Amino acid sequence: MVKKTRIAVISDLHIGTEAISLDLCPHELDEEKKVGLQTDFISVFKNHVESDEFRQGGAIDMLCVTGDISNHAREVLIYSSGAVPCGGPT
């Protein structure tokens, strides 16, 4: 019998000045940029995965953080990661 694998996915956090929540922004933002942003994404997500309803399906085997984790990267970091050939963009 094949065991089911439960995967939780968080995507497009955009940590930084374009974060989906203020607790994912390590920078000071002007007040007008804070309008409409939630303040506690991490605790909301934590409460969700700890809820009885969520746990009824069993334990999570894997957490995948996909999409854009950060909002910006310095060009040199992209090249050094190997994601772009060392010669830079073509």
22-43 pLDDT, tens digit per residue, is 888 888 888 888 888 888 988 9
pLDDT at 76: 61
User: Is this structure's pTM higher than 0.85?
Assistant: no
Which strand (E) or helix (H) includes residue 8? strand 7-11
pLDDT at 14: 82
Q: What is the reported pLDDT for 82?
A: 57
- Locate 86 and state its tokens: 């060392």
Model confidence at 77: pLDDT above 70 = no
Which two structure tokens, joined as six digits, stand for 11?
A: 């995507």
Question: Cα dist. 77→46, 54, 81 in Å?
Answer: 31, 38, 6
What is the reported pLDDT for 57? 83
Overall average pLDDT of the 44-51 stretch? 88
The DSSP 8-state label assigned to residue 47 in this structure reads H
Residue 46, both tokens = 């934590």
Burial, 24: exposed, middle or buried (Cβ in 10 Å; 0-12, 13-18, 19+)?
buried
pLDDT of residue 80: 57
